Amino acid sequence: MRKILHIDMDCFYAAIECRDDPAIRGRPVGVGGGGQRGVLSTCNYEARKYGCRSAMPLFKALELCPQLIVKPPRFEVYRRESRRIRGIFSRYTPHIEPLSLDEAFLEVTHQRRYAWEIAREIRQSIRRETGLTASAGVAPNKMLAKIASDWRKPDGQFAVLPDEVEAFMKDLPLRRIPGIGPRAESLFQEQGIRTCGDLQDVPFPDLVRLVGAARAEEMHDRCRGKDDRPVEQSRVRKSLSVERTYPRDMESVEACLDRLDSLLDELEKDYAKLRKPHSFTKVFVKCKFADFRQTTCEQAGSRMERELFEPLLRRAFERNPHAVRLLGVGVRFPEGGEDAQLEFPFKEPVEVPGARGASKDPSTGDASA
């Protein structure tokens, strides 16, 4: 049986800012840029009490919490601290899979000690050597470890033991499964499916009709707490993109098209900086509108040329009557990384035996919208 840890730093960027500036400790703090049109990269728990959260537009966060202290990001500092923390990880195992600057999976199966003790020591070392706190999840697989690390935040840890998996999953809300976002959760709820136990009751053929053949087997396993993915020491990049939020909403597609060349130029520069240039197989355009809904259009493509992106931008623009506040362009590589947002077609309604509020109306919509 594998022993997997998921270590997740608590409000990493904001915690570093509060550590380095004692005057703001204990006050609501967020990290973000771009002025009033920017977004929060993260915020501390004092700010979250007011409803602030990561990826929230900055103006909205300030409406919720006028006393919010907004610090500009210092990515060189964050990367430096991330390297220090990974150095601590390496004392316990060579099997480390970074997910971002502030979280990673660790496999400690080879260690004779209890995984719980190792997680506790790692958290103590991080606090002692960096002045920051981390939360940890301990479980027999990656998915459960990631869920568990969020259970006792901040500065805590939680374990799901192998003989507890079945009971743990039964009442677990679907939203807890990594990759199921608000839209997918809403579509499941329209079918009366709210917990992993509800989803377990869906016969497999009905699950195929509900989420599509490509995702049915994965969801069948995930809702039962099954996950055979190994801890991978080098992860394959799944995409590369750039996006910008503009000072003024763009009312016309022509105004959006005027921004396209500069975005593509930036994307090409970032692509050239990759250590090992990947060949890409898809190109995409992302739009976020004034009502904060967003959409993505993509197609097969292996060239960063305007003639491929322009039709995608026009199609994306037509999906929403509101003006555009954010534009993004990007490319997708052949092999995706893990924890991508799950996308479901939801073509047919499925009634779950015993589920409350199961919808009998056809459910339509794009789970990735």
Residues with catalytic function: 103
**Rounded Cα distance, 264 and 306, in Å:** 8
**Rounded Cα distance, 359 and 98, in Å:** 40
CA torsion 203-208-211-213 (nearest 10°) is 150
- Residue spans of alpha helices (H) in the chain: 12-20, 45-48, 58-64, 75-89, 115-130, 142-149, 165-170, 182-190, 196-200, 204-211, 213-222, 253-272, 306-317
Q: Burial letters for 198-220: b for 16+ Cβ neighbours within 10 Å, e otherwise? A: bbbebeeebbbbbbbeebbeebb
- Kind of pairing, strands 157-159 and 134-139? parallel
Q: Burial letters for 225-250: b for 16+ Cβ neighbours within 10 Å, e otherwise? A: bebeeebbeeeeeebbbbbebbeeeb
**Rounded Cα distance, 257 and 278, in Å:** 27
Other residues' Cβ atoms within 10 Å of the Cβ of residue 80: 12
Residues 121/102, Cβ–Cβ less than 8 Å: no
**Rounded Cα distance, 133 and 121, in Å:** 12
